[in-house]
Amino acid sequence: MDYKDEKVKKAMEVLQSFWAINKTTTKLTQHNAESLGITLQQLSIINTLYSSPGLTLKSITERLLSSKSTVSVSVDGLVNLGLVERTIAQEDRREINLKLTPQGEEVSRTSMENAYSYRAMVSALGKMGEADVEALLRLHKELLSYLEEAQY
C-alpha cells in the first residue's frame, strides 16, 4: 500500500473521520453509563434487556457482538448490583433467562432520558440541512454495501 497515493490518503481521511465520530459518541455514551454507576457494556446489556426481556446470555452475546465471557462478567456485576435477575428457562431448563429488576428498569429509563450521544447527534444534525442529512445516510449505506462486497 502506497501511503503517498492520493486515493489511499483519501481512504485514510475517511477512516479517521469515522473513528473520530465513533470515539466522540462512545465517550458520550460512556459518560451516561458512568453517571449511572455502571460500565458501557453493562448499559448495553440493561438497555437490551429493557427492550427484550427474558433473553438468554447467548442471545445477548449475539446481539451485542461480544464474547460470552465478557457478557457473563458484566451480567454477574449487574446481578450483584441488583439490576438483573437470572431465571431458569421454562422451555429448556439448561438455559438461563435474564430480566431486569424494577431497579434495573429504572436505570434503563434514566439512561434513555440522559441519552447524551443521541442528544448530541440530534443537535449536530439539526445544524445541517435536511438534504445533507439524507445524503449522509444514503452515502453511509452505499459505502457500507461496497465494504461488505470487498473480499480481503
Q: In which element (H, E) is residue 143 found?
A: helix 130-149
Q: How much is the pLDDT for 90?
A: 79
How crowded is residue 141: how many other Cβ atoms within 10 Å of its Cβ?
Answer: 10
Q: Is the CATH number of domain 18-114 1.10.10.10?
A: yes
Amino acid found at 82: G
Name the pTM for this structure: 0.76
Q: How much is the pLDDT for 152?
A: 75
Residue 15 and residue 9: Cα distance in Å, rounded? Answer: 10
Q: How much is the pLDDT for 91?
A: 78
- Please answer whether residues 98 and 83 qualify as being in contact, where contact means their C-beta atoms are separated by less than 8 angstroms: no
Residue 41 and residue 149: Cα distance in Å, rounded? Answer: 30
Phi, psi (5° rounding) for residue 150? -65, 135
Q: How much is the pLDDT for 9?
A: 95
Q: How much is the pLDDT for 53?
A: 92
Q: How much is the pLDDT for 62?
A: 94
Q: How much is the pLDDT for 30?
A: 93
- The domain limits of the chain are 18-114, 115-152
Residue 3 and residue 80: Cα distance in Å, rounded? Answer: 50
| DSSP label of 83 | S
Contacts of 12 (CB under 8 A, 6+ apart): 3
Query: How many residues in the chain?
Result: 152
Phi, psi (5° rounding) for residue 84? -135, 145
pLDDT < 70 positions in the chain: none
Contacts of 36 (CB under 8 A, 6+ apart): 43, 107, 110, 111, 114
Q: How much is the pLDDT for 48?
A: 95
